[in-house]
Amino acid sequence: MTYPWPAASATGVGSHPGADPAETLRVVLGELPALPYLPELPARGPGADLTGRTAGLLVELPVALQPSGWRFADRPGRDLRRARDHLARDLDVLEERAAGYEGPFKIQVAGPWTLAATIELKHGDRTLKDPGATRDLVDSLAEGVREHVADVRRRLPGAEILLQVDEPGLPAALAGTVPTASGFARLRAVEASVAEEGLGRVLRAADAYPMVHCCASGVPYGLLRGAGAKAISVDARLVPARDDDAIGEVIDAGVGLLLGLVPATGTQPPPADRSARPAVELWRRLGFPPGRLAEQVVVTPYCGLAGASPAYARTALAHCREAAQVLRDKPEG
């Protein structure tokens, strides 16, 4: 198998502390030259958060911020303009700071099932409650993602774009544990086939390397593969031994695995060989050739870095790079 990243690569999940996109991108490009990404800065406020940032990509489905969160609106307003302005500024900075970059470059968007479980309909129920509204959301997101990837590619013509679709809400949607707007009941579970088809439409919408990130427990590995994900990103702490068979099938199929091995907050990560140990032990337990470990596995923090200090965020990325080197130099532990 071949992957868009070189062996012993590391990257981040997406979010960072602070509000300066130029400085944050400088850190990302400096610490992760093999697989950089477009950082997200939710500390800037509404519209820079996971839901609002991606809602700004939706086509002909405007949103507005209410006390309860994001909700579909009749027409675009200042909340939507703010979200789009944040992203436009980030892309302008990217074009300036990464001019001439060649290689893999990752961008992140919220997935359709996470958005459907988060954005409310105009009358207040979550979109997930209405199958027709959910289909409209999937269509709108797919078109918005297609346009977004094309925009990034125009700005970085030498890059291979990796599209990471964040689906932390997918396991809850499949399990039927997403609360109603009132919080007194739970929404009906989404059928796996419906979830796979909707996610697949978004992954296939753009000419980009399709990936899915899920930092919740109960990752539906088979569904993500069926939807077309060529790489899956998970928090290694949330991978129980009972998932070994499913992860083994992922690895055997050649799907890339982004493993969250480094704490996303703190003051100083553990030694690099200790951070890398869960990946080495997983590989050994499943019986795969050690030489494939650094090729197929990319090291990341546990999840986003928004809760870290700027100094620790930089340290964590550098540590991810060091742990990735361990996977290549000491694949057998």
pLDDT one-digit tens code per residue, 190-217: 999 999 999 999 999 999 999 999 999 9
Domain membership of residue 8 (yes or no) is no
d(CA 12, CA 89): 20
In a domain, 296, yes or no: yes
Asked if the structure places residue 6 within a domain, the reply is no
Is residue 1 included in any domain, yes or no?
no
Q: Is residue 3 part of a domain?
A: no
Give the pLDDT score at 330: 83
pLDDT at residue 62 in the model: 98
Write down the pLDDT at residue 47. 96
The Cα 254–Cα 83 span in angstroms is 36
Residue 69 contacts residue 130 (beta carbons within 8 Å): no
- Report the CATH number that the domain containing residue 212 is assigned in CATH: 3.20.20.210
pTM above 0.85, yes or no: yes
pLDDT category, 240, cuts 50, 70, 90? confident
Angle at the Cα of 74 from the Cα atoms of 205 and 110, rounded to 5 degrees: 35
Which three-class secondary structure state does DSSP give residue 64? strand
Q: Which of 40-44, 55-59, 234-238, 315-319 shows the lowest per-residue confidence on average (mean pLDDT)?
A: 234-238
- Report yes or no on 315 lying in a domain: yes
| C-alpha to C-alpha distances, 282 to 207, 212, 287, 297, 299, nearest whole angstrom | 32, 20, 9, 11, 14
- Least Cα distance to 46 among 83, 20, 77, 14 occurs for 83
Taking residues 78-82, report their average pLDDT. Answer: 97
Whether 4 is in a domain gets the answer: no
Query: Across the chain, what does the average pLDDT equal?
Result: 96
User: Residue 42 above 90 pLDDT?
Assistant: yes
pLDDT value, residue 16: 98
For 144-169, the pLDDT digits (tens) are 999 999 999 999 999 999 999 999 99
CA gap 44, 40 in Å, rounded: 10
Range of the domain at 70: 21-329
Residue 2 included in any domain: no
Q: How many domains does the chain fold into?
A: 1
Share of the chain above pLDDT 90, in %: 93
**pLDDT tens, position by position, 293-310:** 999 999 999 999 999 999
Give the pLDDT band (50/70/90) at residue 107: very high
Residue 44 pLDDT class (50, 70, 90 cuts): very high
The reported pLDDT for the residue numbered 200 is 98
Instruction: Give the DSSP H or E segment for 163.
Output: strand 159-166
pLDDT of residue 333: 67
| Dihedral sign for Cα atoms in the order 213, 219, 225, 230 | positive
Instruction: Calculate the alpha carbon distances from 200 to 62, 129, 159, 247 in Å.
Output: 23, 20, 23, 20
